[in-house]
Amino acid sequence: MDHPIFAKWPAQYPDRLQLFSAPTPNGVKVGIMLEETGLPYEPHRIDIMANESHDPAFLALNPNGKIPAIYDPDGPGGKPLALWESGAILIYLADKTGQLISPDSGARYETIQWVMWQMGGVGPMFGQLGFFHKFAGREYEDKRPRDRYAAESARLLGVLDARLADRSWVMGDHYSIADISLLGWVRNLIGFYEAAEIVGFDRFAHVQRWLDAGLARPTVQRGLVVTAA
């Protein structure tokens, strides 16, 4: 394997899909997906606190300097594929394996719609709330940014709660990449970010039921920790 990423993170199993990630809400998506699909893979932990995602070797794989990223030696047409952006990776792995996305065209695009909703709404809003509620932003005297992100996070939870009111999973009876994209973020919001109270999470009973069901899956439990150490 001659990609520059392997100069710093050598592959012990070069025939397997290579995962470069960390146990963040975006990072765990791909670990969960790989565990769900059963694809052979080799995980590499990227220490984002040590700025490894901006190491030149990693930037050769993802010029945006963010985790997760993958390198699939058996990509489309049998050619290697380097891919980044967690939503794109979820769609790629769903297509590669024929799992966790409907073959029906309408349902497929609806699933992708919910993944894009997570990428464009839930992730950025929950992440900003985490900054202003738990991290450096909590020291700011002006609480309007925190309150703005808390209100928007609560609104998004309401959208998800309404979606789940009459169905087990985002797409109905079938667990999909839409659920995988969201589980880590909702878990993080009420856990690591300690923001359950500020968003009034107790109001969202359907989201809580869905979260409990998702986290109870052994594949999810394994996927949450594949790059934890």
CATH of the domain at 191: 1.20.1050.10
pTM of the model: 0.97
Q: What is the mean pLDDT of residues 222-229?
A: 92
CB atoms within 10 A of CB 47: 12
At 86 the pLDDT is 98
- 102-116 pLDDT per residue, tens: 999 999 999 999 999
Tell me the per-residue pLDDT of 118-150, one tens digit each, with 9 for 90 and over.
Answer: 999 999 999 999 999 999 999 999 999 999 999
Domain match, 53 and 73 both? yes
73 part of a folded domain: yes
Is pLDDT above 90 for 52? Answer: yes
pLDDT of residue 229: 74
100, 122, 147 - which closes a domain: 100
User: Which pLDDT belongs to residue 38?
Assistant: 98
**Residues in Cβ contact with 191 at an 8 Å cutoff, skipping those fewer than 6 apart:** none
Q: Let me know if 161 is exposed, middle or buried by CB neighbors in 10 A (0-12, 13-18, 19+).
A: middle
* Average pLDDT of the residues of the chain: 97
State residue 26's pLDDT score.
98
pLDDT in tens, 157-216: 999 999 999 999 999 999 999 999 999 999 999 999 999 999 999 999 999 999 999 999
Same-domain status, 20 and 89 = yes
Residue ranges making up the domain that contains 173: 105-217
Q: Which of 100, 116, 144 is the last residue of a domain?
A: 100
Grouping H, G, I as helix, E, B as strand and the rest as coil, residue 19 is strand
Same domain, 199 and 127: yes
Give residues with Cβ within 8 angstroms of 124, minimum separation 6: none
Chain centroid offset of residue 69 CA: 11
pLDDT confidence bin for 217, thresholds 50/70/90: very high
Q: Is residue 226 part of a domain?
A: no
Whether 66 and 90 share a structural domain? yes
Asked whether residue 83 falls in the same domain as residue 112, the answer is: no
Q: What is the pLDDT of residue 228?
A: 87
Residue 199 lies in a domain: yes
Say how many domains are in the chain: 2
227 domain-assigned? no
pLDDT at 1 over 80: no
Q: Are 14 and 66 in contact (CB under 8 A)?
A: no
Q: Write down the pLDDT at residue 129.
A: 98
Last-in-domain residue among 61, 82, 100: 100
**Alpha-carbon 28 to chain mean position:** 5
Whether residue 80 has pLDDT greater than 90: yes
Domain identity same for 76 and 25? yes
